[in-house]
Chain A
Amino acid sequence: MQIIGPDLLVFGVDDVPACHEFLTAYGLNAQDYTPETGGYFMSLDGTGLEIRRRDDPSLPPALKTGNMLRLQVLGVVDDAALEAVAKELGRDRQVLRLADGTLRCQDDQGFELSFRVTTRKALDMPAEKVNAPGDYGRKPNQIGVSEDMPAKPRTLSHIVLFVPDIDQAVGFYRDRLGFRITDTLTGAGPFLRPQANPDHHTHFFIRTPPYMQGCEHLAFHMGGPTELMMAGSRMMKQGFESFWGPGRHKFGSNWFWYFKSPLGCNVEFDADMDTHDDDWAPREAPMGPEASQAFLLQWREKWAPTGGPKKD
């Protein structure tokens, strides 16, 4: 099944202008936005978020838990891939074909799904380059960091879902849609990647009671750890609140920095995630602080060893 991953995540929120303030500071570009109706918030390759009012009649029904996620739009490589999804899921559920050519259905736990031929653009941008003795990534005179360097989210990376039944989730995404399990945090759940995306994960499931079902966090890929640190530091300077990070995860190797948001879930910057193919042998580790990260840091206001740090 040639699925690439999330093209668009749709939320029905309580406070549209607050989401605009947060998501534009995070680095997404607002499109077709009004404070009354909401709009789109796009990363550089055209994947992103759609933010509407909770009571917007155009949205699919809300989850019973109050979680604000309303729809995941998954991109596939081409029309044949879309037909393959329609045929597979049409075996046991209603799959609507909407006028815009997209498919609409629900997964086995009531998450609303849409499938479309991806609209993401191929990016032609260099990754962050690193200099090291023996391997110089940057040319002479090419500098590594500057105060005003761009640090914009490049593409939607992954979504993490609180799910009441891990077996049911795996049964749907792995056995029906062909996702591969890359690694598992036992006690929480599995990381999955769809077949047409080498990223370590586009989905991660965490087992929770039914009253928590929803989006735990979502993340966009940055161009490298320095962009992630710059983007997060700019958020902190503006008074936004970190939840976890910066740090580097073990499974996936991705750098992370999570921020609380008016979407009712965390919104993460990530960078430098591992990629895999079908030769990969999945790992397992018990969920906990050691398995979750190689290291964890905490932001503080800039200081220099001349005047001493500012008192917290």
Chain B
Amino acid sequence: MHLDDLPDGGARGFDVPGLRCKVIVVRRGDQVFGWRDLCPHYAGGTPMAWKRDAYLNGAGTHIACHAHGAWFDMETGACVQGPCLGKRLTRVPLRVDETGTVSTLP
């Protein structure tokens, strides 16, 4: 994925070989943050979008799980509201190279 494929403030889900869940990539300016698409409300986690790539709350301020309304901080992954208060998303470390190409770190 290239940085230009994701508008500032946007989110997208990607299939990553070897992972059983998608990886959510959110962009804030030139920074990107990667999270496993697994809401920690239930053990093992469940996917969070209500339709393809629809990961954010209405105001676009938080990653939201659309099963039961949990909100997560985009930069820290901490749940700030809803069923998994006190839990957090699992980070997927990302790298952006000088050409703007985004990739997962091994």
Binding site for B on A (CB under 8 A): 13-15, 18, 21-22, 54, 65-68, 162, 208, 211-212, 214, 216, 238-241, 243, 259-262, 264-266
Contact = CB atoms under 8 A, between A and B. Distances in A.
A212 B58 contact: no
Given A240-B51, A260-B48, A14 B57 contact: yes
B69 A67 contact: yes
A14 B82 contact: no
B9 to A, nearest CB: 14
Interface in B55-84: 57-59, 64-69, 71, 81-83
Nearest to B59: A14
8 contacts: A15-B57, A54-B58, A241-B47, A241-B52, A260-B47, A260-B50, A260-B65, A261-B66
A65 B82 contact: yes
B54 A65 contact: no
B43 to A, nearest CB: 12
A266 B67 contact: yes
B21 to A, nearest CB: 12
Interface of B: 46-52, 54, 57-59, 64-69, 71, 81-83, 85
Closest 7 CB pairs of A and B: A14-B58, A15-B58, A264-B69, A260-B66, A239-B52, A260-B50, A66-B81
B64 to A, nearest CB: 7
B54 A18 contact: yes
Given A66-B82, A212-B83, A265 B68 contact: yes
A66 B51 contact: no
Contact of B68 (A216, A238, A239, A259): A216
A22 B69 contact: no
Contact of B50 (A66, A211, A214, A261): A261
Contacts of B68: 162, 212, 216, 264-266
Contact of A243 (B57, B67, B85): B67
Nearest to B81: A66
A189 to B, nearest CB: 16
Tell which of A18, A54, A243 has the most Cβ of chain B within 10 Å: A243
A212 B86 CA distance: 12
B66 A264 contact: yes
A18 B85 contact: no
B49 A211 contact: no
Contacts of B54: 18, 262
A262 B66 contact: yes
A73 B59 CA distance: 28
Contacts of A261: 50, 66
Contact of A68 (B51, B59, B69, B85): B69
A241 B85 CA distance: 23
Given A65-B82, A208-B83, A262 B50 contact: yes
B69 A66 contact: yes
Contacts of B46: 243
